[in-house]
Structure 1
Amino acid sequence: MDPFVFQETADIPIFIIKEWEERFPSLRVGFSARKKGEDADCRNYALHVGNNGAQVIENRRKLAEFVDFSLSDWTCAEQVHHTRIAFAQDHDRGRGKKDRKTAFQNTDGLFSYRSNMLLASYYADCVPLYFYASDIGHYGVAHAGWKGTVQQIGPKMIQKLQERGARIEHIFVAVGPSIGPCCYEVDHHVIHPLKRVLNNQMQLDRVAMSHTPAKWHLDLKEANASLLKNIGVKEQNVLQSNWCTSCDVNYFYSHRRDGGNTGRMVAWIGKKGD
């Protein structure tokens, strides 16, 4: 069974990490879905694509309230396929909720420990990475395309959490829905830098299946999971989705499948408190 469980209530289709929400009751964590046949703006959560910013803000408001937050808690970044990670404090709550200018700039990872803050990140094939350090109550989300993966944004988030006092055995990671190896063909421009950061050829063979002498089918989810396990994250603490955003047209936008003209899903994580 996939750790990302689909549910639809009040006309809001989403995936939740049920295991985390049951184990850590204060957490709210998940990934948005779409409905087949709806136009690209209808379930779009990102302001940098589409033609209807008002619809995006309304989508954010409805989703935030559905998971027991408010639009004023929605906190996000302008993603650039890099590895800058920002720590969100109380005064950062709501950055980027209604416009791109106030979001964290040039940032692909956010983390915090503050209650009643909802960290949000946007996707249409890249890998969403979720983090929870149970011993210090810190949570985070990171956007990992192939560039972020080979630049090790996942391990860099782990380092940030350790610098705040987290112990590696208490860090939990979830690797969310993204494009799968079935649909993600890459060439040596991606494979060569990936080979440099993985531990050995065996790991590379597991995440990149040769298609032709110059093409590979890449499992970007497995690559991120491998990099995290390589630095000591316990295998039992890593959840990994099997959903492919390119295959599953009923649920997901896909930049590759849709030729770049598509909306964005949102990955969110937050912690409720008094």
Structure 2
Amino acid sequence: MSVEVSRSKLLASLPHGFLGRQGGVSEGEMWGLNVGFGSGDHPKLIAENRRRAIEAVLPGAALATVHQVHSPTAVRVEHAWPQDERPHADAMVTDRPGLLLGVLAADCAPVLLADLDAGVIGAAHAGWRGAVAGVTDATIQAMEQLGARRDRIAAAVGPCIAQASYEVDESFRSNFVGQAEGNGRFFVTGPSGKPHFDLAGYVVHRLASAGIHQPTALNLDTYSEPDRFYSYRRSTHLGEPSYGRQISVIGLP
């Protein structure tokens, strides 16, 4: 089975992809293309899965990842760090060819960005905490420091937990609505009477509010498609001891 790569038309001229779980070598509950060393999966399997991910998008590239902590921190990448030297951050930017920027997720929203004219790219991991704190804003600002212009940046939001699958409690909704006027539009009442949150819609809103022209979302639900994607929430509901992580990558040839 080959690696499944979902792509955005906005970024079609660059090597990029939102990868799922198809085409990997992990087994058991984390079967497939699990790339998360923190999952408890065997490191050799994860290393092979990462190799396959690279080959599916930009063969021969070096893969740069960070230690993700649900922060608004974006860092500039000049080379891929060893696993134990990765900075604590949730977004990366670069203008260096031959590098793949990779963010891991298992319900959170991966965001890939590019200014083709400037030759600057970015990748962000946006869970609700990072999204509220401004991880996409920080990514855009870091890209501008490398010569990008936000009116030229294209941005795509990849597979994440969809609103239909994302039930939250009333305190979450109340706190979120209190963050900014208009935030109530990202909630609907679900079948059980509890609020459901639109993570992808909120991230797209933050990108548009920052001056990105027509950001888009792939509208793929990690929770409801177990044959295609890993999902932290689904694994929790099933009582599984751990969960896999998929990767989203973008590079400059």
Same-fold status (TM-score > 0.5): yes
Shift of residue 246 of structure 1? 0.2
Give how far 1:85 is off: 0.8
What percentage of aligned pairs have identical amino acids? Answer: 28
Shift >6 Å, 4+ stretches: none
Range moving further from structure 2, 32-41 or 245-254: 32-41
Distance (Å, rounded) in 1 between the aligned partners of 2:188 and 2:18: 27
Output aligned runs, 1:35-46, within 5 Å.
35=22, 39=28, 40-46=30-36
Q: Which moved more, 1:260-269 or 1:28-37?
A: 28-37
Structure 1, 56-65 or 113-122: larger mean CA deviation: 56-65
In structure 1, the partner of 2:243 is 262
Of residues 172, 178, 181, the one that matches 2:154 is 172
Structure 2 CA distance for aligned equivalents of residues 196 and 87 of structure 1? 32
Name the stretch that deviates more: 205-214 or 240-249: 205-214
Distance 1:153 1:192 in 2: 21
User: What is the identity, as a one-letter code, of the residue corresponding to 1:262?
Assistant: Y
Contact persistence 1:130–1:173 (CA under 8 A)? yes
The equivalent of 1:86 in structure 2 is: 75
1:210 aligns with 2:189: yes
CA distance in 2, matches of 1:85, 1:197: 22
Q: 1:66, 1:158 → 2: CA distance?
A: 26
Counterpart in 2 of 1:234?
Answer: 213
Aligned-partner Cα distance in 2 for 1:130–1:139: 8
Aligned length: 246
Give the alignment's Cα RMSD to 1 decimal: 2.3
Q: Distance in 2 between matches of 1:195 and 1:213?
A: 20
1:149 aligns with 2:126: no
How far the C-alpha of 1:165 sits from its partner, in A, is: 3.1
Corresponding residue number in structure 2 for 1:125: 107
Structure 2 vs 1, CA of residues 233 and 193 (structure 1 numbering), >3 Å: closer, same or farther?
Answer: farther
In 2, the alpha carbon distance for the partners of 1:224 and 1:205 equals 14
Q: Secondary structure at the match of 2:6?
A: strand
Deviations 1:40-81 (A, max 9, x none): 1531011111330100001111221232333x6011111011
**Aligned partners of 1:134 and 1:263: how far apart in 2?**
32
Larger strand proportion of the pair: 1
Aligned partner of 2:6 in structure 1 is 15
Residue 20 of structure 2 is aligned to residue 33 of structure 1: yes
Please say if residues 36 and 104 of structure 2, whose CA atoms lie closer than 8 Å, have aligned partners that are also in contact: yes
Post-superposition CA distance 1:155-211 (Å, at most 9, x none) = 22112223333222101110111000111111244334433444x33xx23311134
Partner of 2:44: 54
Give TM-score scaled by structure 1 length.
0.82
SS at match of 1:170: coil
Q: What aligned pairs does 1:181-196 form with structure 2 within 5 A after superposition?
A: 181-196=163-178
Provide structure 2 residue ranges, at least 5 long, that are not aligned to the other structure. Answer: none
What SS is found at the alignment partner of 2:58?
coil
